Chains A and B, each alone.
Chain A
Amino acid sequence: MSIHVDSVSKRFNHFVALQDVSLAIPEGQLVALLGPSGSGKTTLLRIIAGLESPDAGEVRIHGDAKPSIHTQRKVGFVFQHYALFSHLSVFENVAFGLRVRPRRERPSKAEIAARVQKVLAMVHLDWAGHRMPDQLSGGQRQRIALARALAIEPEVLLLDEPFGALDAQVRAELRQWLRRLHEQTGLTSVFVTHDQEEAMEVADRIVVLHQGRIEQDGTPQEVYEKPATPFIYQFIGQVNRFRGRIRDGAFQVGETSVSLAGPTPEEGARVEGYLRPHELDLAVDLSPGALPATITRIQSLGPLARVRLSAAHDQSDLEAHLSADELGQLSLAVGQRIFVKPRRLDLFPDTSPRQPADGDWVI
Chain B
Amino acid sequence: MAHTASGRSLPGFGLSLGLTLTYLSVIVLLPLSALVLKAGGATWTQYWQAVSDPRVVASLRLSLLASLAGAILNLVFGVLVAWVLVRYRFPGQKVVDAIVDLPFALPTAVAGIALTKIYMPEGWIGRFLPFKVAYTPLGVIVALAFIGLPFVVRTVQPVLEELDAQEEEAAACLGASRLQTLRHVVLPPLVPALLSGFTLAFARGLGEYGSVVFISGNLPFHTEIPPLLIISKLEQYDYLGATAIATELLFISFALLFVINRLQPKPRKGASHG
Q: Contact flags (1/0) for B147-180 with A, using CB distance below 8 Å?
A: 0000000000000000010110111111111101
Q: A100-B180, A136-B273 are in contact. Are A85 and B173 (CB under 8 A)?
A: no
- Interface stretch of the complex, out of A71-79, A120-128, A192-200, A289-297: A71-79
Is A81 an interface position by the 8 A CB rule? yes
- Least CB separation from B268: chain A residue: A132
Is A103 an interface position by the 8 A CB rule? no
Is A36 an interface position by the 8 A CB rule? no
Q: In the bound complex, do residue B173 and residue A100 qualify as a contact, i.e. CB atoms below 8 Å apart?
A: no
Q: In the bound complex, do residue A51 and residue B172 qualify as a contact, i.e. CB atoms below 8 Å apart?
A: yes
Cα of A75 to Cα of B170 in the assembled complex, Å: 10
CB-defined contacts of B170 to chain A, threshold 8 Å: 77, 79, 83-85, 145, 148
Is B127 an interface position by the 8 A CB rule? no
Cα of A206 to Cα of B171 in the assembled complex, Å: 29
Q: In the bound complex, do residue B169 and residue A100 qualify as a contact, i.e. CB atoms below 8 Å apart?
A: no
Is A104 an interface position by the 8 A CB rule? no
A-B contact count (CB 8 A): 72
B113 to chain A minimum Cβ distance, whole angstroms, is 45
A contact residues, range: 20 to 34
Q: In the bound complex, do residue A152 and residue B175 qualify as a contact, i.e. CB atoms below 8 Å apart?
A: yes
CB-defined contacts of B174 to chain A, threshold 8 Å: 73, 96-97, 100, 148-149, 152
B contact residues, range: 20 to 34
Q: In the bound complex, do residue A70 and residue B166 qualify as a contact, i.e. CB atoms below 8 Å apart?
A: no
Q: In the bound complex, do residue A83 and residue B270 qualify as a contact, i.e. CB atoms below 8 Å apart?
A: no
Q: In the bound complex, do residue B166 and residue A83 qualify as a contact, i.e. CB atoms below 8 Å apart?
A: yes
Is A351 an interface position by the 8 A CB rule? no
CB-defined contacts of A138 to chain B, threshold 8 Å: 273
Cα of A70 to Cα of B174 in the assembled complex, Å: 10
Cα of A306 to Cα of B167 in the assembled complex, Å: 46
Q: In the bound complex, do residue B268 and residue A83 qualify as a contact, i.e. CB atoms below 8 Å apart?
A: no
Cα of A101 to Cα of B272 in the assembled complex, Å: 31
B179 to chain A minimum Cβ distance, whole angstroms, is 10
B87 to chain A minimum Cβ distance, whole angstroms, is 16
Is A354 an interface position by the 8 A CB rule? no
- Least CB separation from B273: chain A residue: A137
- Least CB separation from A74: chain B residue: B175
Q: In the bound complex, do residue B171 and residue A96 qualify as a contact, i.e. CB atoms below 8 Å apart?
A: yes
Cα of A298 to Cα of B256 in the assembled complex, Å: 78
Cα of A83 to Cα of B180 in the assembled complex, Å: 17
Cα of A86 to Cα of B176 in the assembled complex, Å: 17
CB-defined contacts of A87 to chain B, threshold 8 Å: 188-189
CB-defined contacts of B173 to chain A, threshold 8 Å: 49, 51, 69, 75-77, 149
Cα of A145 to Cα of B175 in the assembled complex, Å: 15
Is B185 an interface position by the 8 A CB rule? yes
Is A300 an interface position by the 8 A CB rule? no
Cα of A84 to Cα of B163 in the assembled complex, Å: 11
CB-defined contacts of B169 to chain A, threshold 8 Å: 51, 77, 79, 83
Q: In the bound complex, do residue B177 and residue A70 qualify as a contact, i.e. CB atoms below 8 Å apart?
A: yes
CB-defined contacts of B178 to chain A, threshold 8 Å: 70
The contact of B172 among A69, A101, A134, A149, by CB within 8 Å, is A69
Residues of B at the A interface (CB closer than 8 Å) are: 164, 166-167, 169-178, 180, 184-185, 188-189, 268, 270-273
A-B contact pairs, 14 of them (CB 8 A): A51-B169, A69-B172, A73-B174, A76-B173, A79-B166, A84-B167, A85-B170, A100-B184, A132-B268, A134-B270, A137-B273, A148-B170, A148-B174, A149-B173
A-B residue pairs, 4 tightest by C-beta: A73-B175, A97-B174, A83-B166, A77-B173
